[in-house]
Structure formats: structure tokens, C-alpha cells
Chain A
Amino acid sequence: MEKYLDKLPFFVEQIKSMKETIIANIVFIGQIPAPTFKEKRRTNLFMERLAEFQVDECTTDGYRNPVGIIRGTSPSKPPVFVVAHLDTVFEKDVDHNYTVRKRTIKGAGILENSLSIGVLASLPEIFRKLDLSFESDIVLVGVIQSLGRGNLRGIRHLLKTWDTPIRGAICLESVELGRLNYYSEGMIRCEVECDISPTPGPLQKFKSNAILILNEVINQILELRLPQRPRSRVIIGKISGGFKHGTIAYKAKLGFEIQSDSDKMVKSIYNDINDIIEDISHQNEIELKLKTISNLSAASLKYNHPLVKSAGAIIESLGLKPICEPSESELSIFLSHNIPAVTLGITRGENIHLENATMEIEPMYKGIAQIIGVIMAIDKGVCDE
């Protein structure tokens, strides 16, 4: 392992010398809007770039996830997957033109997750420049339908239909450099919709208020006693509703996530919240609907798994400190298929979910070197035990 650790600082300089290619890919791909379920144009360009950089095979799977394959030298070794989600939270009418400056790139979706897709498209050329070849096939995938209501459908489908073993996987997220995710919590993402039919006439001023109803739901959720072991929490993340200041709100919506180390606990909390909602609905004689938007099972590698240890050492060899937190991304789907996987961040940035998201260019070179280091580690067999 130490042999390639020594090479990483040298890789950083080599990768830096390819900055035009890497930034061009980030800009070309990132400037194409790709809201979840509408990723086709970005998919096509991503494939076009992979083909131009001469991957050995370039295709889409049955779900239209774009896949590029760089053939390895040993046909008996299972492939290594490198994936990044292709969709963003921004609709196509948002300005996606990026601004490149000396040290930064700014634009909608750059940190979620266009930078990663641009880097993914650049990897074939980077391998060529670094004169790297691998025993395993390297499978590069830009997964679609990942975010929100997409509920990681792209990666779920890909792994369900991939019929040969997978040696290991790396999931790419644009930020933060140093992140090392190797476990994911159980999660259910829900929405509660409160809909009170308006009736004409003077009595309307005494009708229930959808916002106050949801306020009551929130209060009762906050009163739930959540265990510290397994660690569990309910995150109230979104709320919307109402029409104007002086009118009773007839419609309101609440979005929250239940997270826990234990799938059983997630389910149990979900049932408790469902009871709360049914009770409030009954008491107030209003319609209150609980919808599940997406869910994930808890899955984990052990901290002393060779892949986690190697990835940690690689990150440290680049002068960074690994930051270990749970991740709900593609990682959890790999882990739930018993495929060793980690999520890595590529650079630093700010305003991650905003239209003026900004990435730093310089740290990205270390971020890419780290990805190559982990691919090399998997190719040397750290996931084979």
C-alpha cells in the first residue's frame, strides 16, 4: 500500500497540469440543467465526453444510467465502481452558466454534484496522463434519479441488474474534501400534507388553520422520547403553506426525516408519528396525509475494514484529516448489497445548495488524487478479504 501512497503527492502535480481538461468537463456538463427525472441532456453529454476520452465501452443500462467502462488487465477480477449522482436540485429555468475565476468556480449545482460528474468524466484522461492501468475494470457511472423523490432509483436499479460481483465502490460528492463516509443510517423521508377544504360564508374565520395543525404535529413529534442508543433523531427540514397574511391557511406541508442507526427504530418512530397524525386528524376533523418519499436501510462497514483504513491513510497522506459521518447517498445502496464502499468529497466550497454555490479549484487536485489512491487500493485487493 505504501508504494502508491508515496506517489500521491506527485499525482497532485500531474493532475494540476490537466486543469483545463478537468475544468472544461465540469463547466460543459454542469452548465446543462439536470433536475431529478429530467437528466437526459446531461446524460447524453456525459456519455459523449466519456466516448471522446476513449473509454473502452460506453453505454446506458436499462434505466438510462450512463456507464463508461475502462477495461482492466485481469478479466478474472471483479470491477471497481466509481459513481456520482448526475441530477441536481435546480430546475432548467435557473441560470446554469458558470463563472470561472482564478481560484473558484461559481454556479448552480456545482457542489451538488456537477463537480463530481465533471471529475468522473475526466478520469479516463487522467489515468492516461498518469500512465495508470488497473487489474479490475473501472466502471464509471453517473447515476440518475438520486435526489429527493428520485429516492436513489438509478443506483438501486443499476445494482439490482448488474449480474456479476463488484469488487468495491467509491461514491463521489463535490464537498467536503476529507469526508470519509463508510456507514449510512436507516432513514425514512416523509411529508405530511394538511388540506382543509375552504367553505364560503362567515364561518370560515373559525375553521382550522393548516399551519397551526402542522404546528401541533411538530410539537407532538418533539415530545417523542427518542433513544440515545441506537442513536435516533427526527429532523424537521421543510415547511410551506398559506396564501397571505390575513387569510387562514387551507393548505400546508411539512417535510421531515427519521434517522437512526437501527432500521427497527426508524420503523418504530415512523409508527409513532403516524399515530400522532391520525389522532390530530381525527380530533380536528381535517384531512392529514402522511406520505413516505424515500427510505434507506442502515448499513455499515466496520471502522477497521481495510477499505476504510486505506482510504483514511490516503486522505492523511495528502495532509488532510478524515472526517467520518453517516451518509445517505449511493453509499447505502452499495453497502446494503454487501459491496464495500466509501464516499469521498473532492474539494471545499460554500453555499452548497444555493444558485451561487462556489467551489475552490486548488483543493480539487488533492481530491482527485485521493480518488485515484482509493481506486488503486481496491485494485490491490483491500476489499478482497
Chain B
Amino acid sequence: MNSNWLKKNTFHYSEFKDINRLVEEKERKKIKISLCLPTLNEEKTIAKEIIIMKSELMSRFQLLDEIVVIDSGSTDRTMEIASSYGADVYKADDILPKLEKFKGKGENLWKALYITKGDIIVYLDADIKNIHHRFVYALVGPLLLFDNIKYCKGFYDRPIARGKKKLRPTGGGRVTELVIRPLFSLFFPELTQIMQPLSGEYAGYRELFEKIPFPIGYGIETSIILDTYEKWGLDVIAQVDLERRVHRNQDTKSLGKMSFVILKTFCKRLEKLGIAELKSDIFNEMIQYKLGKDEYQPDIYIDRGFERPPIIEIPEYREKFKVI
């Protein structure tokens, strides 16, 4: 196991605080950077994310070239608010309209590849309450300053002792610790060094994202890591400590659904890589129970495990980005 990776490829956001240096590097490399915010009913937090990124990373420093919101069909005022603060707002269904339509975060991220112009794409969840521009510049920093790094993942409140007697809280989210970390330990021990594989804050080069498939739902974070690892190895991945992140807490039932999708994605990858073989088909329904009037009623969540192919295989994309 390459245990050096943790030391070599783990950064703290403060190492990239010199935003001028990042802008210089961006200009030297002649690249563009896009921020994508996938949304579904995020009217409480979306404005703050857009305002802070525009103020700090577009007006004061020209690190970002665009902020794009891709919405899955919000029923609140997310799109209106995002638009009023100057983001480019799209309904996911309106992008590549000839393709079959799906709902899900992965779908939004995949379609963002078609809409955005950037050579680097930063993905941030849109429900961060304590948003700060470090969430972007710290993810972009390693990509700009280290030529080998192509994909950078954020983590927060992680188990790192920082100097004597200074311990930070340990552990990822519940799904990370109960599902992902045991699976990584069993099949890909090197990947356990990634502190928070499910964090929704990451950035990478287009050349990487366009060559991997995107599950349309919750499996997206897991699949990006596994596919990147398989295609290019661990050394192209970095992780950055973003310190605190305050976000909406999810109930156990929702996390159960998330775990179901992640497990499916994982099983699929294990088969594809020839690590394990399933003798029969696995099911698409996650069955939970709730108490009805006088009886327990099944609460069924269906995930068909659909994945978008690498977007570089889509003719419209190839045409737009002049891929030969």
C-alpha cells in the first residue's frame, strides 16, 4: 500500500491562501476555471454561495471565470434567487435535450461538463451554511500548483493531529464510516487514506472528468474516486482540509438510501474490475418500512443504477469542444 500518499498529497487550505499566486499560475497556464453548483431546493443557501464566490473569486481576484447552477427541478425559488445574483442558471432537463432525462446530482454534474467552459471544474454542494471562498481556492490550488494532480477532494473536521496536543475531531459522515471505509478497507486499502470520499466538494481537470462515466445519483462521488484510481492511479488525486463545513443534517432513512446506491455503484465497479463476481442480478429497490395507521408499510426507493457514459463519447460534446 502506498501510505506515503497521505503525507504527500494531503494539504491544508491555508497553503493556498495566496490567491494572487493561483491567479498568476492560472494565467500562465492559460486555463479557465468554472464553478458548478448542482441544486435541488436550495433557496436558503444558494445566494450566499454565489455572492461570496463572485465577490472574492471573480471581482477581487479573477480566479473563477463562471458560476453555473444546474438545477434538478427545484420547486422553491432556488433558480430565481441564483439568477438574481448573476449565476448562469440551467435546468438539467434543458441541457442535451435529445438524451433521455434523469434526475440526480450525478446527472447535473455530468451535464455541467457540457455547459461549462472551464479547463478545471469545481463542484460544490449548494447547501453549505458556512460557505467561504477557501472551499474553491483550496480545491483549485493543488491542481494549479502541482502538475501531477488532476483531481482534488475536500475534507473537513478530519482526524489529523496538528501539532502537540492539538487534535481535531475524528471520523467522516455516517455513510463514510459505516459503508465506504469498510469497503475501501476490504478491496482498495490505499483509498482509505482519502478522509472523506463522499464530500460533495471537489475539483478536477476536464480531461479527467470527460473520460469517466457518471452515475446519475448518489454514487457519483464513489465512482469518480474508483474510476480515477483505476485509470490514473492514486498520485493524480489530492485532498485538502477545508476545516469546518456546516450543512444540513440528513436523517438515517435518507442515509440508508444513499448507502444503497453507493453499494450498488461499488458492486458494479468490483465486477467491472474483475475483483468479484455476482452470481445473480442485484435488485433495484431499497425497501424501508414506516408505521402506517395500523400496520407497517414498505417505503420503496428505486435506483436503476443508470450511469451516463464518459461525456467525451457524446457527439454533441465532441462537436462543442472540438474533440477529434
Contact = CB atoms under 8 A, between A and B. Distances in A.
Interface of A: 19-21, 23-24, 27-28, 31, 52, 97-102
Interface residues of B, number: 22
Interface of B: 43-45, 47-48, 51-52, 54-56, 59-60, 77, 80-81, 84-86, 129-130, 132, 246
A34 to B, nearest CB: 16
A24 B47 contact: no
Contact of A21 (B44, B60, B81, B132): B60
B130 A24 contact: no
A19 B56 CA distance: 12
Contacts of B54: 20
A24 B55 contact: yes
Contact of B52 (A24, A52, A102): A24
A101 B55 CA distance: 16
A102 B59 contact: no
Interface centre among A21, A24, A52 (most CB of B within 10 A): A24
Contacts of B80: 102
A24 B56 contact: yes
A112 B56 CA distance: 25
Contacts of B44: 99, 101
A102 B55 contact: no
Contacts, number: 44
Contact of B51 (A20, A31, A52, A97): A20
A102 B84 contact: yes
A11 to B, nearest CB: 18
Contacts of B77: 101-102
A101 B81 contact: yes
Given A99-B48, A101-B47, A102-B77, A21 B129 contact: no
Secondary structure at the B interface, as helix, strand, loop or mixed, is helix
A28 B43 CA distance: 19
A98 B128 CA distance: 11
Contacts of A28: 52, 132
Closest 3 CB pairs of A and B: A24-B55, A20-B55, A100-B47
A19 B85 CA distance: 9
B304 to A, nearest CB: 36
Contact of A100 (B51, B56, B59, B60): B51
Contacts of B55: 20-21, 23-24
Contacts of B59: 20-21
A31 B48 CA distance: 12
A98 B77 CA distance: 17
User: Which of A21, A99, A100 has the most C-beta atoms of chain B within 10 angstroms of its own C-beta?
Assistant: A100
A102 B51 CA distance: 11
Nearest to B86: A20
B82 to A, nearest CB: 10
Nearest to B82: A102
Contacts of B129: 97
A99 B49 CA distance: 10
Nearest to A103: B84
Given A23-B55, A99-B48, 12 more contacts: A19-B51, A20-B55, A24-B51, A27-B48, A28-B52, A28-B132, A52-B60, A97-B130, A100-B47, A100-B48, A101-B44, A102-B84
Nearest to A96: B130
A71 to B, nearest CB: 22
Contacts of A52: 60
A24 B81 CA distance: 16
- With a 10 A CB-CB cut-off, give which of A20, A28, A101, A102 has the most chain B CB atoms: A20
Given A97-B129, A97-B130, A23 B51 contact: yes
A145 to B, nearest CB: 26
